[in-house]
Amino acid sequence: MYRIITRKRLASNVIMIELEAPEIAAKHKAGQFVLLRIDEHGERIPITVAAKDQEKGIIRLIIQEVGKTTIQLGQLEKGDVIQDLIGPLGQPTQIENYGVAVCVGGGIGRAPIQPIAQALKEAGNTVISIIGARTKELVLMEEEMQAISDRTIVCTDDGSYGSKGFVTESLENVLKSEHVDIVVAIGPLPMMKACCEVTERYSVKTVVSLNPIMVDGTGMCGGCRVTVGDEIHFACVDGPEFDGHQVDFDELARRLGAYNQEEAVALHEYDLMIDQTDHECKLEK
């Protein structure tokens, strides 16, 4: 059993919980995740560790309430317990001194990007963080990102806070104005795909963290298979991070669409928007 020692609501559908998990806290590295199950009747879901305290034996999870299990997690209180917690799973982020690193977190991706940004900073990199949300109320962890970044850019879709626009616009502005050695982008599938399309134009190495359906977390079930560079990989053991320029995002969207229609529709709408923009540019010429 893993006891909840802290619970805090960060937004209308986002909670933060801290769990007593000393063995996981001792071994966890940036980019890795855990699988949890609330009780014996629950499903297992993967959640990336947002922070840890090795001395206290605590890990922090940021959870967006979008499905049955995450909604149940949102109803738990301080002192409640989670039956099963397995981890750390997956390959850790490859951390080294690249030079200038841009960390982009969109949606709930702002949680897993924090330990990566911190690790990159500790390795000697200049870290520029870009965090985005639909509106001001959904901007999360700004102060935490500022504390570990040389510069932090906040943007909202509706312009209610920070710069108005998508994270991709802020990312392109950075790439236009200065040299960047690596970009790490984590968030909804359409956002990661869009970031990769931007960075590919500037030939900047880009790492993304993929979120396919996972069941056992050991590569046995095959549910999390993804195509990267024309090869099949399993996100739970080979990832979750991959070279974003090699990921077949369209195939992944189709697979996710079997379980998450909203994700598939969002990616389709993004593609339609890009097609329309290209069409309008041709007409102007």
pLDDT-above-70 percentage for the chain: 90
- 109 vs 193 pLDDT, higher one: 193
**Domain extents in the chain:** 2-89, 100-276
Give the pLDDT of residue 259. Answer: 60
Give the pLDDT of residue 44. Answer: 87
**pLDDT for 251-280, tens place per residue?**
888 887 766 544 444 444 444 444 444 444
Contact (CB, 8 A) for 187 and 167? yes
Instruction: Work out the average pLDDT over 225-242.
Output: 92
Mean pLDDT of the chain, nearest integer: 87
Give the pLDDT of residue 280. Answer: 46
Instruction: Work out the average pLDDT over 62-76.
Output: 89
Structure tokens that stand for 184 in this block? 């790490």
Give the pLDDT of residue 222. Answer: 82
- 55 vs 141 pLDDT, higher one: 55
Contact (CB, 8 A) for 236 and 223? no
Please tell me if the domain spanning 2-89 has the same topology as the one spanning 100-276: no
- pTM, entire model: 0.84
Rounded to whole angstroms, the Cα distance separating 151 from 131 reads 11
Phi, psi angles (nearest 5°) of residue 245: -75, -10
**pLDDT for 156-169, tens place per residue?**
988 888 889 899 99
Q: Where are the alpha helices (DSSP H) in the chain?
A: 22-27, 68-75, 110-122, 142-148, 167-177, 189-201, 235-238, 249-257, 261-284
Number of H helices, E strands in the chain: 9, 16
Contact (CB, 8 A) for 24 and 88? yes
b/e for 136-150, b at 16 or more Cβ within 10 A? eebbbbbebbeebbe
Give the pLDDT of residue 260. Answer: 56
Contact (CB, 8 A) for 7 and 16? yes
Helix (H) or strand (E) holding 3: strand 2-11
Rounded to whole angstroms, the Cα distance separating 252 from 124 reads 34
Classified as helix, coil or strand, 279 is: helix
Domain 2-89 classification at class level: mainly beta
Rounded to whole angstroms, the Cα distance separating 213 from 256 reads 7
pLDDT-above-90 percentage for the chain: 60
Give the pLDDT of residue 1. Answer: 87
Classified as helix, coil or strand, 131 is: strand
Task: For residue 273, give the nearest of 173, 166, 130 by alpha carbon.
Answer: 166
Instruction: Work out the average pLDDT over 53-77.
Output: 91
As its CATH architecture, domain 100-276 has 3-Layer(aba) Sandwich (3.40)
Rounded to whole angstroms, the Cα distance separating 58 from 51 reads 8
Phi, psi angles (nearest 5°) of residue 151: -150, 140
Task: For residue 226, give the nearest of 205, 206, 241, 204 by alpha carbon.
Answer: 241
**pLDDT for 194-224, tens place per residue?**
999 999 999 999 999 998 888 878 788 888 8
